[in-house]
Structures are given as structure tokens and as C-alpha cells.
Structure 1
Amino acid sequence: MTASAATPPRMSVEQMARAYAAEVAQKRRRFLFAAIIFAALVLVAGWMAEIDLALFFKNIHKFPNYIGRIFLLDSGPMAGHFVLYDVAGWFWGLGKWLRLLADTLLIAYVATVLGALFGFIACFFAAANLGVSHPLTFAVRRFLEFCRTVPDLVFALIFVMAFGLGPIAGVLAIVIHTTGALGKLFYEVLENVDQKPIEGLTASGASWTKTMRFAVLPQVLSNFLSYALLRFEINVRGASVMGFVGAGGIGQDLMEAIRKFYYPDVSAILVLIILTVSIIDLVTERVRHHFITQVG
């Protein structure tokens, strides 16, 4: 004689509705509690930062006024008209700005190449799965953290004081930050490689260098190239503001135009920077996809 399994009583529709309503109410209470905590933290942060809301709302009208003025000509027979009414007058300094923009691109290019090289070397010693000693891995990771934590403008100020005004300060500042950022991205890729080729070469007596070359590098090269190209896009934007502290590039003229309230010059330089970055984004995107399909 077989004993029938006891079946739990089925919940009625009203019971299920009450249970659902109770669950929804609990989630709403959690969301409300989290929202209150978030709002309180925002208020505390504003109080600690000495934010004056009255002053903020008193002067908020100046922001759209400034944005509007950068698209109006402020000199010549077309003064007060929209900038497109006199494009030649708007881009009066195009030759000079293009030369400075070329300097910006060269700063970003050189810094990306050197930063990617240093990050490439460091990442093999920062990865925890490649047989490197733990103290060395710890030290390299802390070094990379230092490189990417300190803002590149701070490094640029230091190098401007050390080497004077010019592109070299911008290059060195971006190199340090790029080394820290790419080093972290690279060693995270390394920590996700397939271990079987590494174990095979190690068992056959291959040296650590040959193991990295033939077992690890083919697995990660496409990702490394993709991250390096992405970093180049970021560095072009970063190099554009290095001139704010005298580290070369078009940012120096942009900062001068902002300080002297040359409104049309500000918009003209911004348009050049935006167009350049957009073109670089499109080109590097195609190059990244090509490397991913060809090398990967």
C-alpha cells in the first residue's frame, strides 16, 4: 500500500493578491528608504562643499546667456549676427588653430604609444595568474593605481614647473595616466586567458618569456589593440585641455579665449575639437573592429 504525498493547500486568488500587494509595498518602502538616504547624503555633501543654492539660482540665467553669446559675432560689420552669417570672420584664426590642433593630436598620439608600451610591460607583472611573485604583483598594481588616480592635470602642472611651458609637459602627464589605465585593463584581460596553453608550454619546459609570447599574447592581442585605440580617443580629449595649464596644444588658445571673453573664438575652437574627436572616433572604431576580426 503506497502512501500518497501530501499536497499543500492551494492559495486562493484573494490570498495571492494580498501576498503580491505586500511584496510590492515592501519594495516601495525599500525604494523610499533608499531615496531618503540618497537625498540626505546629497544634502550633506552640498553642505560640506559649501554650495550656496541661493547664489546658484540667482546666477543660473548667466549660463544660457554665455552659451548664446558664443554663437554671435562680436566684431566687424556683422557684429551681433549668428556666426554662420560670416564664417570667414568666425574662423579668422583657422590656420593657427589647425597647427595647434595638430600639436594636440601629436601629444595624444605619442602619449598613447608610450603609455600603451609601459602598460603592456607592467601588466604581465600585475596579473595574478601568470606565475609572478605576489610581492611584485602587489607593488606593480599599487604603482598603476597611483598613475591613474592622480589627475593628469596635476601631473601636467608639475611637469610645467619642471620643464617649462610646452607639449613635453602634456605628453608626460598623459603618459603616466595612460600607463595606469591601460595597465589595469591589460592585466584584467590577462587574468581571463585560457590556462591550458600556459600549462602545456610550462610542462614542456618553455621559459616564462616564451610562454607569455606563444601561449598568452595570441589570446589577448586583439583586446590590447582595441583598448589602446580607445585610449587614444580619450587622450585626444585630454590633450585638448592640457593647454589650460600651459602644457601645449589647442587648449591654450581655448583658455585664453574663455578668459578674455572672445565668445566667437570659443565656439570656433570647440567646433574644431568636436569635429576632430568625432572623426577619430569613427576611424578608430573601424580599426578596432578590423583588429578584432582579423587578430581575434
Structure 2
Amino acid sequence: MSAVAGNPFANPVIERGEAAFRQHRRERLRMTLLGLAILIACFLVAAWVSEARPASIAAGLPRVGEYFSRIVPDLRWAVLFRDWETEGSLASWFYRADKWALLLLETANMAAMATAIGGAIALVLCFFASRNIARNTWSYVLARRGLEAMRTVPEIVYALILVWAFGIGPLAGIVAIAMHTTGALGKLFSEVVENADLKPWEGVRAAGGTWAQGARYAILPQVAPNFLSYLLLRFEINVRGASVIGFVGAGGIGQELYLVIAQNYYEEISAIVLMIVAVVILIDLLSDRLRKRIIGEARA
């Protein structure tokens, strides 16, 4: 009452609102500071557990630079475009490019086949793993937990196990990548299905359609463009993954890269890495163009 008597323009409702706003802002500031303190504490604990100490980093960085300086080829401009027998030429740097190109093709084929297999299995399982259209609770739980198990284990761990089972070669790599792809795509696909419009689904079911018919004719046409986008993105990821699992004998260019690293053929390391980077960039560009074109036509 005194505030109102002293200031005829004061409004108690506005004053209470401003006080509540200031209190809310102070509370938000306290919560933000508390969250920041917890984040910093977690970061420090993680750094301590992983032994990421400033002294270790400072000691290791020069050695990293030294290693990279060794893999840089000794190219000389005067003989840059000479034949492969001339040291300092590009041809001598990539003197095994034909073999590496075939291994890169094998790597891309491994990624393509694994993506196709994993995508097909994920396409089936995603409908069971979608909460909104799952046939029952048990099918939902089993499909979800199965997809989680498949994507939790890294491809290289699968490859280690499968190399023992199938022997050294691309088959182990294809199966390993396909298993992880199934888990990853199954989750993404199921999330897309859960965001689909259920009116067509309800119409198909009301007309006497089976659960499978509802998934095929009511849900799949809606989600197919997103499925295709995720599938192409996964193919790009699998090309990179296929380049790594060769380190454990699962075929592809990774196996050759592991050999030259183990034998300290420094210039060959940089040549193979550059070829991998070039192929991955090319596949990414082509896949991006294909994805935009197909998705655009599907939504037109």
C-alpha cells in the first residue's frame, strides 16, 4: 500500500510479476552455474581417468609432428613427372597405385553389400521396434533390445570375431559391417516410423488389412524418402568403416594400410591415405547428389 501511495503510477500486479521474473532469472542462473560446475567436474574426472594430462599431451605432440614429417614424400620438382623408377617423382610415390585401386574397389564393394544387407534387415525390424505400430509389447522389446545389442558392439570387434570364424578376407568385414548397420539403421528407421501419420494406418486396419499390409501400404510410402536418405548416409559411413576393419584382416584397403604401417613404409602410408581420402570424398559427393535427386523426386 505504501508503494502505491508513494507512486500513483505503480501497479501491484506488475510489481509482483517483475519480482517473480527476477526470482526466476536468479534461479535459472543458479541452475546454469550448477550445471556448468558439474560439467567441468565430469570433464576433469574423464581427463584423469583417460590420463589426458597436460604433460603427456605436451610430450606426445612433437612425436606426432615427427611421424607426419616422415610420411611426407620427398618430391622434387625437376623429376616430378618422371617414371616410377625415378625417386622424387609422383609415379614413384604411387608406384603401387594399381593394386591399391583394386583394394579400394573391394572396400567400396564391401561397404555397398554390407549396407544393402543391413538396410534390408533393418527395414523389417524397424516396424516391430516402433512403439506406435508394434504388434505387441514383446515384439517391441525384443526388436529394440536386439537392435541396441547390434549397434553397441563396434564393427572392428565383430570383425575380430568373424575373422576367426571365416578366416582372413572381405567376408568377415561384410558381415561385421552389416551387423552394426542393422542396429544403427534399425534405430533411425524406427524413429521415422514413430513420427509417421497414423491415419492411413488406421484406415488400412479398419478396412480389414493385416498388420503387414498396414506397414507396407500405409507407413512405408510415407517414410521411404527418409529411409533412403539414411541408407545413403550409412553407405558413406560404411566406406570409412570398411577402410578401418581391414586392420584386423577383414579385407579391403585397410589390410594393406596396416601392413605398410607395421613395416614403416612411410611414403606408402601417405599415398594410401590420400587415395582413401580421395575415394571417400568422391563417394560422399556422388551420394549427396543422388540423395538430393531421389529425395526431391520422391517428394515432388
TM score, norm. by length of structure 2 = 0.84
Structure-2 residue corresponding to 1:274: 277
CA distance in 1, matches of 2:150, 2:259: 29
Structure-1 residue corresponding to 2:83: none
Q: 1:219 to 1:11 in 2, by over 3 A?
A: closer
Q: How does 1:114-193 map to 2 (within 5 A)?
A: 114-193=117-196
| Identical residues among aligned pairs (%) | 45
CA distance in 2, matches of 1:23, 1:120: 47
Structure-2 residue corresponding to 1:205: 208
List runs of 5+ in structure 1 lacking aligned partners. Answer: 1-5, 79-83
Three-state SS of the structure 2 residue aligned to 1:127 is: coil
CA displacement, residues 95-143 of structure 1 (integer Å, 9 cap, x when unaligned): 1101111110111011000000000011111111115101111011000
Structure-1 residue corresponding to 2:39: 38
Between stretches 209-218 and 236-245, larger displacement belongs to: 209-218
Three-state SS of the structure 1 residue aligned to 2:251 is: coil
- The equivalent position to 2:231 in structure 1, one of 228, 231, 237, is 228
Q: How does 1:96-115 map to 2 (within 5 A)?
A: 96-115=99-118
Three-state SS of the structure 2 residue aligned to 1:73 is: coil
RMSD, aligned α-carbons: 2.8
Between stretches 142-151 and 280-289, larger displacement belongs to: 280-289
Three-state SS of the structure 2 residue aligned to 1:130 is: coil
CA distance in 2, matches of 1:276, 1:103: 12
Structure-1 residue corresponding to 2:69: 68
1:35 Cα deviation (Å)?
4.1
Does the CA contact (< 8 Å) of 2:196 and 2:222 recur in 1?
A: yes
Q: 1:10 to 1:209 in 2, by over 3 A?
A: closer
Structure-1 residue corresponding to 2:241: 238
CA distance in 1, matches of 2:139, 2:13: 62
TM score, norm. by length of structure 1 = 0.85
Does the CA contact (< 8 Å) of 2:130 and 2:194 recur in 1?
A: yes
List runs of 5+ in structure 2 lacking aligned partners. Answer: 1-8, 80-86
**Structure with greater contact order relative to length (CA < 8 Å, sep ≥ 6):** 1
CA distance in 2, matches of 1:10, 1:206: 59
CA distance in 1, matches of 2:118, 2:226: 16
CA displacement, residues 141-193 of structure 1 (integer Å, 9 cap, x when unaligned): 00000000011110000001111111011001000000000011111111111
Q: 1:7 to 1:31 in 2, by over 3 A?
A: closer
CA displacement, residues 70-103 of structure 1 (integer Å, 9 cap, x when unaligned): 21239xx98xxxxx95110110110110111111
